[in-house]
Each structure stands twice: as structure tokens, then as C-alpha cells.
Amino acid sequence: MELKDTIDKMNSTDYKERFIAEYEQVRIRRTKLASMIEKYRMGTLDFEPTTPIGILMTQVAIMDSYCLILKQRAILENIEL
């Protein structure tokens, strides 16, 4: 899944659909960022990030926490992710 695949859900009038799209977007962005960090660590990244890698790693950790919160909310609100 790519970000473009979440557009219809983000534009939905149903808050549950928008919630699912939000979760999917964060998960997609987190996965891509983690992949970039891994490539950086392996020396296979084709550019040098301007942001220090430690900050990017912190961002991934925060995104992980955000996904966990969204999962917890989904359970409470009966939203199937």
C-alpha cells in the first residue's frame, strides 16, 4: 500500500474510514523512514541525510508509539485496522 491508496478513506465522511487512513499513512511513512535508516546504516543509501540519524531514529520511535495509540483507540472504538 502507498500513501496515494489512502486518499479515498481520508476524504470519507465516515470518521472510522478517516481513522483507518490515518493509521495506514503513519504506518507507511514509518516503514519508509525505517527503511531509509537501515540503508544508511548499511552504507547503501544513495544520499546523505541532512537530519542527524539520531533524530530520524527518534522520529521512528515516536511513530511507533503513535501507531500503538491508534491501535488502542481502534480497539476501544471498535474500528478494525
The three cell numbers locating residue 24: 495506514
Q: Do the beta carbons of residue 40 and residue 53 sit within 8 Å?
A: yes
The predicted-structure confidence for 29-47, as pLDDT tens digits, reads as follows: 999 999 999 999 999 999 9
Q: Which residues of the chain have pLDDT under 50?
A: none
Number of Cβ within 10 Å of residue 5's Cβ equals 12
Return the exposure string of 41-71: e unless at least 16 CB atoms fall within 10 Å of the residue's CB, then b. Answer: eeeeeeeeeeeeeeebeebbeebeeeeeebe
Question: Model pTM?
Answer: 0.91
